[in-house]
């Protein structure tokens, strides 16, 4: 491919990314274009400058020294049309008053989402930003801040950056629980099955108080869940005024509040140990059993006290305390199933 053809190809790819996200900074654009290139930020800046000079994109200055946003210009829309992509100008993104442009109130939130999706793309995920989802899936009660797919994993991204009201936090928790159970509505032909919550680790409110987004989301999920929820967290550190500089991902299993309450009852009743080494405790008509499994650490099951029937598959855990908590979660799930029958 000669240099002219390569530039046209880069133009198309860059404009397509801007179209999908609505707006992008050169930093995230460079990562999306050249995810494994060590000089991607420099190359992204050069590409952004070229696109601006040739009027394929419009430049918009973000507040607080956060850099410049690139949105599609009319010439960029025409170039995408040549490739069969129907797009529209980004001149209506944000608003302009007295010669000054201001972005939407969600620009900080959107910038974190863009940074997380760019980092996931760098890790081999196909990414689908919220702007694209809203345009292509139509009206839905709940749309994530982005999707990311790699093989069988479909991440549902939620970015926590502001205090939510009680009802809004419950909606978020319900969505995360549904995704973890693979019960969320498919989007673009994909069923999300792994909830990912991104947050700024050093976030503070208007009074300078630390905002513990992870703690608040965990409490909401514990209250909403009927069974253990496997969550992924992305703790983000900002570079400068805004924009994701680094991201650390971690998995966690969040247990329902009801599981904690049942475990307290099991502990209050007292765990007894049989001659075969199995420890057990009862909760109503159900009995939790845990034992040291030489191959898997610890295992637990739930037995019907009346019939002796095993009511759950054996679940493995690394520690006896975790096995007891998982047994309590099994009882909570079985109780909820029985109550809803």
Per-residue pLDDT band for 294 (boundaries 50, 70, 90) equals confident
Same domain? For 173 and 98 the reply is no
Per the structure, how many domains does the chain have? 3
State the alpha helices, DSSP H only, in 58-165. Answer: 74-82, 107-122, 130-137
Same domain? For 281 and 234 the reply is no
Per-residue pLDDT band for 92 (boundaries 50, 70, 90) equals confident
State the alpha helices, DSSP H only, in the chain. Answer: 3-21, 26-33, 40-53, 74-82, 107-122, 130-137, 166-180, 213-224, 257-269, 320-340
Query: Looking at residue 338, what is its pLDDT?
Result: 61
Measured from the Cβ of residue 86, the count of other Cβ atoms closer than 10 Å reads 8
Same domain? For 122 and 195 the reply is yes
Q: In this structure, what are the phi and psi dihedrals at residue 9, rounded to the nearest 5 degrees?
A: -65, -45
Residue 286 in this model has a pLDDT that exceeds 90: yes
Query: For the stretch 18-36, what's the b/e string if a residue is b when 16 or more beta carbons lie within 10 angstroms of its beta carbon?
Result: bbbbbbbbbbbbbbbbbbe
Two tokens at 115? Answer: 């940074």
Q: Which of 102, 118, 136 is the last residue of a domain?
A: 102
Please give the span between the terminal C-alpha atoms of the chain, in angstroms, as a whole number: 64
Per-residue pLDDT band for 210 (boundaries 50, 70, 90) equals low
Residue that has been written with the tokens 């801007």 in this structure: 18
Residue 208 in this model has a pLDDT that exceeds 70: no
The DSSP secondary-structure symbol of 38 reads: T
Residue 197 in this model has a pLDDT that exceeds 60: yes
Same domain? For 88 and 123 the reply is no
Q: Which of 41, 67, 102 is the last residue of a domain?
A: 102
Same domain? For 91 and 139 the reply is no
Three-state DSSP at 63 gives: helix
Range of the domain at 55: 3-102
Give the CATH number, domain containing residue 64: 1.10.10.10
Query: Looking at residue 335, what is its pLDDT?
Result: 83
β partners of residue 160: 199
Q: What is the pTM of this model?
A: 0.85
User: What pLDDT digit, counting tens, does each position of 18-29 carry?
Assistant: 999 999 999 999
State the alpha helices, DSSP H only, in 188-319. Answer: 213-224, 257-269
Rg for the chain, CA atoms, rounded: 25
Give the CATH number, domain containing residue 237: 3.40.1350
- Mean pLDDT of the chain, nearest integer: 90
Per-residue pLDDT band for 306 (boundaries 50, 70, 90) equals very high
Per-residue pLDDT band for 4 (boundaries 50, 70, 90) equals confident
Residue 101 in this model has a pLDDT that exceeds 90: no
Q: In this structure, what are the phi and psi dihedrals at residue 3, rounded to the nearest 5 degrees?
A: -65, -35
Average pLDDT of the segment spanning 133-147: 86
Q: How far apart are CA 180 and CA 200, in angstroms?
A: 22
Same domain? For 75 and 126 the reply is no
Two tokens at 138? Answer: 């139509």
Same domain? For 243 and 181 the reply is yes
Same domain? For 201 and 275 the reply is no
Same domain? For 50 and 173 the reply is no
Residue 240 in this model has a pLDDT that exceeds 80: no
Residue 100 in this model has a pLDDT that exceeds 60: yes
- Say if CB 18 and CB 70 are below 8 A apart: yes
Q: How far apart are CA 250 and CA 127, in angstroms?
A: 19
Per-residue pLDDT band for 191 (boundaries 50, 70, 90) equals very high
The DSSP secondary-structure symbol of 256 reads: P
Q: Which of 48, 81, 102 is the last residue of a domain?
A: 102
Query: Looking at residue 163, what is its pLDDT?
Result: 67
Same domain? For 126 and 250 the reply is yes
Measured from the Cβ of residue 317, the count of other Cβ atoms closer than 10 Å reads 20
Q: How far apart are CA 262 and CA 227, in angstroms?
A: 12
Same domain? For 92 and 173 the reply is no
Average pLDDT of the segment spanning 192-211: 78
CA-closest candidate to residue 119, choices 249, 232, 306: 249
Q: How far apart are CA 313 and CA 239, in angstroms?
A: 47
- Say if CB 275 and CB 261 are below 8 A apart: no
Residue 340 in this model has a pLDDT that exceeds 60: no
Average pLDDT of the segment spanning 119-132: 97
Residue 3 in this model has a pLDDT that exceeds 90: no
Same domain? For 148 and 199 the reply is yes
């Amino acid at each position: 491919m000669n240099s002219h053809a390569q530039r046209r190809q880069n133009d198309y790819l860059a404009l397509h990314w801007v179209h999908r996200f609505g707006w992008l900074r050169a930093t995230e654009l460079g990562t999306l274009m050249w995810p494994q290139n060590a000089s991607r930020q420099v190359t992204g800046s050069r590409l952004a400058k070229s696109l601006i000079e040739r009027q394929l994109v419009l430049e918009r200055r973000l507040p607080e020294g956060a850099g410049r946003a690139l949105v599609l210009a009319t010439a960029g829309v025409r170039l995408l049309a040549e490739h069969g992509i129907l797009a529209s100008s980004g001149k209506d993104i944000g608003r302009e008053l007295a010669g000054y442009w201001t972005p939407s109130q969600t620009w900080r939130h959107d910038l974190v989402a863009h940074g997380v999706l760019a980092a996931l793309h760098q890790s081999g995920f196909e990414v689908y930003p919220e702007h694209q989802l809203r345009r292509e899936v139509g009206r839905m009660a709940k749309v994530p801040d982005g999707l990311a797919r790699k093989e069988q994993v479909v991440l549902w991204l939620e970015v926590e950056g502001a205090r939510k009201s009680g009802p809004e936090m419950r909606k978020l928790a319900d969505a995360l629980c549904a995704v973890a159970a693979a019960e969320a509505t498919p989007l673009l032909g994909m069923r999300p099955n792994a909830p990912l919550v991104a947050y700024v680790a050093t976030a503070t409110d208007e009074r300078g108080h630390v905002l513990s987004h992870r703690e608040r989301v965990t409490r909401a999920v514990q209250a909403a869940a009927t069974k253990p929820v496997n969550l992924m967290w992305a703790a983000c550190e900002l570079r400068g005024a805004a924009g994701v500089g680094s991201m650390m991902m971690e998995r966690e299993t969040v247990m329902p509040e009801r599981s904690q309450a049942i475990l307290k009852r099991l502990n209050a009743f007292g765990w007894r140990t049989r001659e075969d080494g199995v420890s057990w405790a009862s909760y109503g008509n159900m009995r939790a059993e845990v034992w040291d499994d030489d191959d898997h650490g610890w295992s637990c099951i739930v037995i019907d006290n009346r019939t002796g029937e095993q009511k759950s598959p054996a679940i493995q855990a690394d520690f006896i305390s975790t096995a007891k908590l998982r047994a309590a979660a099994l009882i909570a799930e079985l109780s909820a199933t029985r109550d809803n029958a």
